[in-house]
Chains A and B, each alone.
Chain A
Amino acid sequence: MTAAAVEVSGLTRRFGGVTAVDGVSFAVNRGEVFGIIGPNGAGKTTLFNLVTGITPPTSGALFHDGTDITSARPYHVARRGIARTFQNIRLFAELSALENVMIGRHCHTRSGLFSGVFGIGAAAAEERAVRQRGRELLALMGLATKAHVKARNLPYGDQRRLEIARALALDPKVLLLDEPAAGMNPTEKAALSDFLRRLRADFDLTLLIIEHHVPLVMGLCDRIAVLDFGRLIALGDPETVRRDPAVVEAYLGEEG
């Protein structure tokens, strides 16, 4: 049996008196679109931070393709092919859109300090390749004309798209998207759903998506995990989860 793309086992994270994530366990299969939903403060983003090595777990373990990555630091996680976007967009504000995407190629390229500056050896060719790939990804996200615009001057929607382009530059096998539909209108949300499905197919990705907009998640995801107060209260395909009484209770009053 092949290892799961991402496996989380008894993951717990405490901050002082607050238990943000409490004994969460699940396994995401390769190629799956895996949704993570839950009320505000349920620990979803903390879960992402744990997976990507930004926050070390208080206890529990993390696996990627069967390898233990529990104590891996963020840049190791990225190098293994796990990329992410952030809930509050974290672009490199003063850099251009193209430069933002090019940073995503950093760990797949090797020109060092001197070889880069003096342009010797493979460095010059590598630089061209990185730039080319950057342009391709920008074009894919519809940002080709804005390659040289500073990230902070881009409209909100473009910034979100740019974050995805940058994450894709990492050649990831697993992509974590933190509320990709935030700030989008219904038309855009529908388009996003199609887009993510295509992305999964074209790039052979495993997707983990945190989302608030439940209809989007129901329509898009193969399986959904529901968090509440840091605990996993339901896990299964969309229909099963939708009918789970624990889930209904957690979402009392929220859009269904």
Chain B
Amino acid sequence: MRLFLQKLLNGIAIGSVYALFALGYTLVFSILRVINFAHGAIFTVGCYLTYALTGAAFGRNGQLRNADLPVELNFWLALALGALGAGVLGIIVERLAFRPLRRRGSDPLLTLVSSLGVAIATVNILQYLFGAENYGFGETLGSMRASVELAGGELPVVIRTKQIVIFAVSMVMVVALTAVVNRTRVGKGLRAVAEDVTTATLLGIDTDRLIRLSFFLSGVLGGIAGALIGLAGSFNYQFGVAIGLKGLAVIVLGGLGDIPGAVVGGLVIGVAESFVPAEYNAYKDAVPFVVLLVVLLVRPQGLLGRAQVQKV
């Protein structure tokens, strides 16, 4: 029972990591029906930005070795600013890799590849600048306890505080995002654009601005996710793209473009990974992809998505 609970909690913890990542991913898809592969890169940049803003130094490799910003901000402030920076990066990516293709009415696959190119270029620029090494935030949560014990006794069930933070943040984010999309005027505009860009434009909605906004939001979400996940463990220039691939499984499982779906998908996959029996531990990494394959073959619209009907 204890083991079950621990595994469940671990699963939820990992799952919220995936969920947090997937939110930005699915937001862009919900508006534009394209997968923004650059999300993983923006996620990584957000983390690096936050790291730099906390005044930490960059290591021994890379062009900017031993670089050190003359600021030393509190983690949460750095996180906020880093996320804003990531948001701005999101807008830049939209302008460079998405807008020209959107204007031309290009195939979503082409847009996906274009964003992939941006992602590869970006993370490798990070490698060029900061080297391939791993970085860590250290114990920046200050006075907070490192972990919490539940149901004490001999073998307590343990959750790390960072995991609780990530879970809490992802829940807050999904609620906030859903509220924005469903209850605000801006959200209505976003939904209109998601339905049909041309009609939305004809209705006088500034679609370009709204699309920029969604990329900004997606970038901010990605930046927050990046910093928090970097906080929870260590990070390097590749960790965004690696999560990015798993993130695909998450958003397909939850339903492409479905915001609560991103959280559901993330939690399900996290828990599934956690419950892989110990003997098969090495196969853990295959879990998201097996799930992805099964979903695509059995129910491509995912758990919460609606089936697409094609008119002949």
Contact = CB atoms under 8 A, between A and B. Distances in A.
Is A–B contact present in the complex under a CB 8 A cutoff? Answer: yes
Interface of A: 15, 45, 49, 54-55
Interface residues of B, number: 2
A82 B256 CA distance: 39
Contacts of A49: 312
5 contacts: A15-B309, A45-B312, A49-B312, A54-B312, A55-B312
Contacts of B312: 45, 49, 54-55
Contacts, number: 5
A49 B312 CA distance: 8
Interface string B270-312: 0000000000000000000000000000000000000001001
Contacts of A15: 309
A49 B311 CA distance: 11
Contacts of B309: 15
A36 to B, nearest CB: 16
Nearest to A49: B312
A165 to B, nearest CB: 22
A15 B309 CA distance: 10
B137 to A, nearest CB: 52
Nearest to A87: B312
A213 B309 CA distance: 30
A45 B312 CA distance: 9
Contacts of A45: 312
Question: Which 5 residue pairs across A and B have the least CB separation, nearest first?
Answer: A49-B312, A54-B312, A55-B312, A15-B309, A45-B312
A54 B309 CA distance: 14
A184 B82 CA distance: 61
Contacts of A54: 312
Nearest to A45: B312
Interface string B86-105: 00000000000000000000
Contacts of A55: 312
Nearest to A55: B312
A54 B312 CA distance: 9
A106 to B, nearest CB: 21
Interface string B140-173: 0000000000000000000000000000000000
Nearest to B309: A15
A156 B309 CA distance: 28
A217 B309 CA distance: 32
A49 B310 CA distance: 13
B249 to A, nearest CB: 30
A160 to B, nearest CB: 18
A55 B312 CA distance: 9
B217 to A, nearest CB: 33
Nearest to A54: B312
B220 to A, nearest CB: 38
Nearest to A46: B312
A253 B312 CA distance: 28
A3 B76 CA distance: 80
A45 B311 CA distance: 11
A92 B312 CA distance: 16
